[in-house]
C-alpha cells in the first residue's frame, strides 16, 4: 500500500520551481526529499555531485549505469530534473546550490542549531513517556476514524471542527441532507482500509491543499468576523512553511520534548491542528501571559505549553519507503489491533467471525463482507462475490482487503500458515480480476513510421523513458502514455537525417 | 511521415475483444490493432466499460442466484 503514499508524493512533485527552491533552504527538508522522493540511482548521482565543486559531465554519470538498465537511468534523470535538483548545461549536471549546501549541512552537521528541531533544555515537570504518546496518538487518530464511520461513542470524543472541515474538504465525508452530521463517502471508505502511515500522509497533504485554498480567499475575509480569527490557524499559511514543518517532524525523535520558539507563526498555528490529529502532543496550559500573547500574535489560539512532543505518527513520516510498514505496524501493536489481539476468523467456506463489539471494526467489515448476525461480542459475516465486487467498485483493491484480514487475524487463525485460507484469498483475487476484463491506458498511438530503423529507435527511446505501453513490431505501431518527449525525439532525428 | 493519434489503448482477451467489436459494430469508433489490442476515443471509455459490464453480468446472474439459495439453507 505504499503505492498510496507515493501517489501523495506525486502530488508534491507538481509544485512550481520557486516553491522547490524555497523548500531546499532547510537542511531537514533537503534530507527528507533526498531520503523519500528520490529513487536509489538518483541518490547515487546526487552523492557523486554533492561534494564536487564543478558541474559533472552527464557522460560520467552514465558510465555508472549498466547499458541494459537505461530505463532506470532515464527515471533517475527525469526525477532530478522534475524536482529542479539539477541544472543542465552543455552536457553537464550541476546540483542546485541551495540544495547542495543544505544537504551537506544535514549530512556533516553544521548550520543553525535546532535545524532538526530544538530539544527543550529544561526538564518538563509533567514529562510524558512513549507509552503515553502512543496512547494519545491512537486515541486521537481513532476518534477521527470513528467519527468517519459515524459512531458516537462516549469513550471517543468528537474530533475538532478543524478535522471535520478537513474531511469535508478532502471529500472523505460529505454533508448529507438527512442529518446535520456529515457522512462518509466512497473515497473515505478506501481511506479507512489504508495503513496508518498512508492515512496520515493523505490527511496532511489534504491539509496543505486546504491551507493553500484558504490563503487565496482569506484577504477579504480577514476582518469580517471573530469566527475568521478562530480559523486563523488556517489563514495566512505558507505552503513552504507547512512542508518544512512536516519534513522536520519526520526527523524528530520520539519521546523527546521540543521547544516551539524556533517555529514560524504558520508552524505554531499548525501545531494546533496537528495536535487534533494526534501527530504531535502538546499539553494545554492557561496563564495570563499566554492570554496576552494570544492577542498580540493572534496565532496561538488555545493557550498551550511551549513544548511539544512528536508522536509515532510524526516520526514515521519520512522514513524510507520500505520501512513504512514497520513504524505503522509498531503503532498497530501499541493499539488494540496488534498481533495478540486479532479478532477475525475466516473459514474456508467464506464465513467470517469477528470477535468485536467495536462499531469501527464492524463498519469496516461491512465494506467487503455481508453481515449476517450480531451478538454482544461477536459478528458473523460472509464473504460473497457481490460483497467483494461492491467493495472493488468503490475503489478498494483485493490486496487491501486481504492485507486488512491478515493484519487483524485472530491468534487462533495465526497458527496456520498461510494465515488466511488460500481458497478464500485466491477467490477474492479472482473476483477482482473478473471485473478487469479489459485494461485501459490513455495515451497516444504512433504509426506509419517511414523506416524500420526509425521505428526501432523510437521504440527503444520510449522504453528507456518508461512511457512505452505497447508496440507491434510487425506493423510498426507503438503506444505511449506521454508524447511530448517522443515527438521531440522524432523531430531531432528528422533534423539529424537531413 | 509518422502520425500520432490520441486515444485509449484497450488490452483484453480475444473473447472480450469480440464483444467489444460487436458493441462497436454500429458506431465504428475503434481502431483495431491486433487480436488483443485496440484503440478507442478517450470519451468512449466509460460508456464501453458500462456496456461490457452489462453484457458480462447477463451470464453471471445465475451464479449469484445459486449463492442466495445456499444461504437460505444455512
Q: What are the residue boundaries of the structural domains of chain B, listed by start?
A: 8-73
Give, for B38, the enclosing helix (H) or strand (E).
Answer: strand B37-40
Contact residues, chain A to chain B, C-beta under 8 Å: 382, 384-386, 435, 437-450, 454, 458, 469-470, 472, 475, 477, 479, 483, 487, 490
pLDDT value of residue A334: 40
The pLDDT tens digits of the residues spanning A57-86 come to: 888 888 888 888 888 888 888 888 888 888
Residues A276 and A305 in one domain: yes
Residues A181 and A294 in one domain: yes
- Domain's final residue, options A435, A456, A482: A435
pLDDT value of residue A292: 44
pLDDT value of residue A262: 76
Between A and B, how many CB-CB pairs are < 8 A?
83
User: Would the CB atoms of A444 and B64 count as touching at under 8 Å?
Assistant: no
CA distance A445 to chain B (A): 5
Q: What distance in Å separates the CA atoms of residue A91 and residue A296, rounded to the nearest whole number?
A: 54
Q: Best residue in B1, B2, B57 to probe A by mutation, most A CBs within 10 Å? A: B2
Q: Under a CB-based contact definition with an 8 Å cutoff, are residues A182 and A167 in contact?
A: yes
Dihedral sign, Cα of residue A287, residue A292, residue A297, residue A302: positive
A225 lies in some domain: yes
Q: Best residue in A382, A389, A433, A445 to probe B by mutation, most B CBs within 10 Å? A: A445
Residues A106 and A151 in one domain: no
Residues A430 and A449 in one domain: no
Residues A427 and A379 in one domain: yes
Q: What distance in Å separates the CA atoms of residue A36 and residue A317, rounded to the nearest whole number?
A: 10
C-alpha cell recorded at residue A400: 487491501
Residues A252 and A162 in one domain: yes
CATH number at residue A67: 1.10.10
The CATH number, out of the four listed (2.60.40.290, 3.40.50.300, 3.30.70.1220, 3.20.20.140), of the domain defined by the range B8-73: 3.30.70.1220
Q: Which structural domain, as residue segments, surrounds residue A471?
A: 444-497
User: What's the complex ipTM?
Assistant: 0.77
Q: How deeply is A380 buried, as exposed, middle or buried, from its count of CB atoms within 10 A (0-12, 13-18, 19+)? A: middle
Residues A158 and A216 in one domain: yes
Q: Best residue in B9, B24, B45, B69 to probe A by mutation, most A CBs within 10 Å? A: B9
User: Would the CB atoms of B67 and A385 count as touching at under 8 Å?
Assistant: yes
How many CB atoms sit inside 10 A of residue A442's CB? 12
DSSP single-letter state for residue B29:
-
C-alpha cell recorded at residue A498: 537531413
Does residue B58 carry a pLDDT above 80?
Answer: no
pTM: 0.64
Residues of chain A whose pLDDT is less than 70? 1-11, 111, 114, 150-157, 177-179, 195, 214-237, 284-305, 319-341, 497-498
The mean pLDDT value for B45-71 works out to 67
User: Would the CB atoms of A382 and B71 count as touching at under 8 Å?
Assistant: yes
CB nearest B45 (choices: A440, A447, A469):
A440
The count of domains in chain A is: 4
Residues A431 and A288 in one domain: no
pLDDT value of residue A437: 74
pLDDT band with cut points at 50, 70 and 90 for residue B73 = very low
User: Would the CB atoms of A448 and B71 count as touching at under 8 Å?
Assistant: no
Amino acid at each position: 500500500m505504499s503505492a498510496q503514499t507515493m501517489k501523495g508524493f506525486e502530488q508534491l512533485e507538481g509544485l512550481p520551481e520557486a516553491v522547490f527552491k524555497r523548500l531546499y533552504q532547510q537542511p531537514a527538508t533537503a534530507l527528507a526529499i533526498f531520503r523519500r522522493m528520490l529513487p536509489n540511482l538518483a541518490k547515487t548521482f546526487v552523492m557523486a555531485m554533492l561534494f564536487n565543486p564543478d558541474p559533472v559531465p552527464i557522460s560520467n554519470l552514465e558510465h555508472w549505469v549498466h547499458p541494459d538498465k537505461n530505463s532506470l537511468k532515464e527515471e533517475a534523470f527525469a526525477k532530478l530534473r522534475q524536482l529542479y535538483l539539477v541544472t543542465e548545461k552543455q552536457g553537464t549536471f550541476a546540483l542546485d546550490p541551495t540544495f547542495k549546501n543544505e544537504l551537506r549541512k544535514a549530512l556533516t552537521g553544521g548550520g543553525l542549531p535546532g535545524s532538526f528541531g530544538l530539544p527543550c533544555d529544561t526538564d518538563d515537570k509533567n514529562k510524558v513517556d512513549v507509552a503515553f504518546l502512543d496512547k494519545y496518538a491512537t486515541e486521537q487518530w481513532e476518534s477521527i476514524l470513528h467519527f468517519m464511520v459515524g459512531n458516537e461513542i462516549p469513550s471517543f470524543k468528537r474530533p475538532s471542527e478543524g478535522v471535520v472541515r478537513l474531511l469535508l474538504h478532502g471529500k472523505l465525508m460529505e454533508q448529507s441532507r438527512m442529518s446535520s452530521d456529515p457522512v462518509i463517502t466512497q473515497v473515505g471508505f478506501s481511506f479507512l482500509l489504508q495503513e496508518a502511515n498512508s492515512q496520515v500522509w493523505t490527511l496532511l497533504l489534504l491539509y496543505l491543499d486546504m491551507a493553500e485554498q484558504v490563503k487565496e480567499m482569506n484577504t477579504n475575509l480577514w476582518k469580517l468576523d471573530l469566527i475568521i480569527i478562530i480559523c486563523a490557524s488556517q489563514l495566512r499559511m505558507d505552503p513552504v512553511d507547512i512542508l518544512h514543518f512536516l519534513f522536520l517532524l519526520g526527523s524528530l525523535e520520539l519521546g523527546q520534548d521540543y521547544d516551539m520558539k524556533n517555529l514560524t507563526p504558520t508552524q505554531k498555528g499548525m501545531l494546533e491542528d496537528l495536535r487534533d490529529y494526534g501527530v504531535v502532543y502538546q499539553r494545554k496550559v492557561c496563564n495570563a501571559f499566554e492570554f496576552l500573547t494570544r492577542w498580540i500574535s493572534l496565532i496561538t489560539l488555545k493557550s498551550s505549553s511551549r513544548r511539544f512532543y512528536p508522536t509515532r505518527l510524526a516520526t514515521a513520516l519520512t522514513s524510507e519507503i520500505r520501512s513504512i510498514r514497520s513504524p505503522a505496524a509498531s503503532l498497530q501493536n501499541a493499539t488494540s489491533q496488534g498481533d495478540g489481539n486479532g479478532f477475525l476468523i475466516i473459514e474456508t467456506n467464506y464465513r467470517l467471525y469477528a470477535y468485536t463489539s467495536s462499531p469501527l471494526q464492524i463498519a469496516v467489515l461491512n465494506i467487503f463482507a455481508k453481515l449476517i448476525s450480531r451478538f454482544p461480542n461477536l459478528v458473523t459475516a460472509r464473504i460473497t462475490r457481490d460483497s467483494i465486487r461492491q467493495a472493488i467498485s468503490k475503489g478498494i483493491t483485493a490486496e487491501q482487503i486481504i492485507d486488512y484480514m491478515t493484519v487483524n487475524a485472530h491468534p487462533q487463525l495465526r497458527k496456520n500458515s498461510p494465515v488466511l485460507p488460500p481458497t478464500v484469498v485466491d477467490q477474492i483475487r479472482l473476483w477482482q480480476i473478473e471485473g478487469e476484463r479489459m485494461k485501459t491506458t490513455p495515451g497516444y498511438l504512433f504509426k506509419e513510421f517511414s523506416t524500420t530503423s526509425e521505428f526501432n529507435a523510437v521504440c527503444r527511446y520510449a522504453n528507456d523513458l518508461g512511457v512505452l505501453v505497447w508496440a507491434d513490431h510487425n506493423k510498426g505501431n507503438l503506444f505511449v502514455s506521454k508524447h511530448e518527449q517522443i515527438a521531440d525525439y522524432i523531430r531531432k532525428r528528422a533534423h539529424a537525417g537531413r | 511521415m509518422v502520425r500520432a493519434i490520441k486515444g485509449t489503448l484497450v488490452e483484453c482477451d480475444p473473447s472480450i475483444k469480440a464483444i467489444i467489436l460487436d458493441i462497436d459494430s454500429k458506431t465504428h469508433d475503434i481502431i483495431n490493432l491486433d487480436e488483443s489490442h485496440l484503440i478507442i476515443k478517450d470519451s468512449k471509455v466509460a460508456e464501453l466499460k458500462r456496456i461490457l459490464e452489462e453484457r458480462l453480468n447477463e451470464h453471471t446472474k445465475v451464479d449469484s442466484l445459486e449463492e442466495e439459495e445456499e444461504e437460505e439453507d444455512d
